[in-house]
Amino acid sequence: MIDYIGNGINNRKRKQKMSESSTSNSGIGFCGLLTILFIGLKLGSVIAWSWWWILSPLWIPLGLIILIGIIFFIFTGNSLKDID
């Protein structure tokens, strides 16, 4: 009986420590929020932009990541042939 109570207290302390130390970064993010804002403004006829620009917060970050990757491969002298 004493062991059971003691283990229960330790488990609660362990769960409390885990919940305090673990953080999760979940949410919509800046680009998602900006996209929703642009879509709302477009559907409300506040802006008359092309849909390419309305959805640009979704594809511009991807384009920047690809561009940074290409620049990295150019400056490091690595090529895709070296991978084989």
The model's pLDDT over 52-70, given as tens digits with 9 standing for 90+, comes to 999 999 999 999 999 999 9
Domain boundaries of the chain, sorted by first residue: 52-79
CA distance 5 to 27: 38
pLDDT of residue 70: 93
* pTM, to two decimals: 0.55
CA distance 84 to 66: 21
Contact 54, 39 (CB under 8 A): yes
Compute φ and ψ for 23, nearest 5 degrees. Answer: -125, 145
Residue 15's pLDDT band, with cuts at 50, 70 and 90, is: low
Contact 57, 35 (CB under 8 A): yes
